[in-house]
Structure 1
Amino acid sequence: MAEETELNLSKITLRPYNASDIDDFLMYGGDEKVTRFTRWNTFSSKEEAFLYIKEYCIPHPYCRSICIDDRSIGFIIITPQSGDDRFRAEVGYALAAQYWGQGITTRAVKMAITEGLREFPDVIRFQALVELENKASQRVLDKLGFLKEGVMRHYSFNKGKARDMVMYSYLSTDDPMP
């Protein structure tokens, strides 16, 4: 079983989105279990998914599709800040529910941070805000060596409710990710 998991993890790639990802994107972007903790609402049509990919994902400096065999199964984004905050970047991700619990998100975040360190040389701090209730996402960041900095009470308003958020960070000077 471990060999099978390792084989699947080695097939994971990150690539920019393209218009042909609409159906795959809608599979996870249209699933309320997946979008429960995302900043975007659940998509209900191909048109909504297409517009999101076209207007947000494609032009973004680092919005990638998490893929297995070039099929989109998830979303990862690194958003570098600008001006005096250009040393900092926000990290976010989502994965199709059928792939949860297999180490895919952990692998994808590690790959993205490695690429982010190369693509954004000014960035020395990668940070992720995770809803307090999202224990799975917290486990991903813990496994990768992100530092849990603390809980920020009612920090974010998402899906009609004030949310407590956990701040995690990974610095370019931290030990390499496992």
Structure 2
Amino acid sequence: MIRGEKVCLRPLRRSDLDFLHTYANDPEFEGEYNNFGLKRDRHLLAAFEEDGLLNARFGNLVVTTSDDQFLGTVSYHPQRYGPEASTAYNIGISLAPEQRGKGYGSEAQKLLADYLFKTYPIMRVEATTDITNIAEQRTLEKAGFTREGVLRKAQWRSGDWHDMVLYSKIRGE
């Protein structure tokens, strides 16, 4: 378990899967910026059975309070820039609607970036968010990420192309 002041990150447990499946197709939980269409029922089970959704190709951790109250999830996946050695990790977050705006997101993303730097030989952790998602942009900046620029029409979501803002954190920052 990775502990911060307000939040903890921990691997998924089998008991989390039913809870996550309940919210998998809930537009309120996914929010405007994380809704990418319907997911199959029990879509997480096979991946959980394989490796607990925690490996170098894709990781998914639960965000909780110190007393294990579910707040949401964070995830990461590799982003390659050229050869195999030029790998960064791209991170994302989904918090329950009632848990947003409380500072949990910035701490969770900071803890995740720190974990990735300690675990993998990488120089860079990055995140993207919709250009209109001002709350997440502030959250990433509070977590120590630097705004790098705009990726024009980079993401297809909700029937249209959206501009994304790219943020990064470099090892040692």
TM range (shorter): 0.7 to 0.9
- Against the structure 1 CA distance between its residues 56 and 81, is the aligned structure 2 distance closer, same or farther, given a 3 Å change threshold? farther
Quick one: distance in 2 between partners of 1:77 and 1:24? 17
Quick one: distance in 2 between partners of 1:131 and 1:105? 16
| 3-state secondary structure, aligned to 2:33 | coil
**Residue in 1 that maps onto 2:72:** 74
Superposed, which structure 2 residues align to 1:7-156 within 5 Å?
Answer: 10=5, 12-26=7-21, 28-35=23-30, 36-38=32-34, 40-41=36-37, 43=39, 45=41, 47-48=42-43, 50=45, 53-54=48-49, 58-61=53-56, 62-68=59-65, 69-81=67-79, 83-86=84-87, 88-120=88-120, 122-156=121-155
Deviating more after overlay: 48-57 vs 101-110: 48-57
Q: CA deviation at 1:93?
A: 0.8
Work out the number of aligned pairs and report it: 163
Deviating more after overlay: 59-68 vs 36-45: 36-45
Quick one: distance in 2 between partners of 1:117 and 1:104? 20
Quick one: distance in 2 between partners of 1:51 and 1:41? 20
Identity over aligned pairs, percent = 26
Render the CA deviation track for 1:48-72: whole Å, top value 9, x for unaligned: 4545655796254332111223343
Higher helix share: 1
Matched to 1:156, the amino acid is: Q
Structure 1 residue ranges without an equivalent (≥5): 1-8
Quick one: distance in 1 between partners of 2:163 and 2:79? 22
Quick one: distance in 2 between partners of 1:128 and 1:106? 12
Report runs of 4+ in structure 1 exceeding 6 Å deviation. none
| 3-state secondary structure, aligned to 1:79 | strand
Matched to 1:66, the amino acid is: V
1:172 equivalenced with 2:171 (yes/no): yes
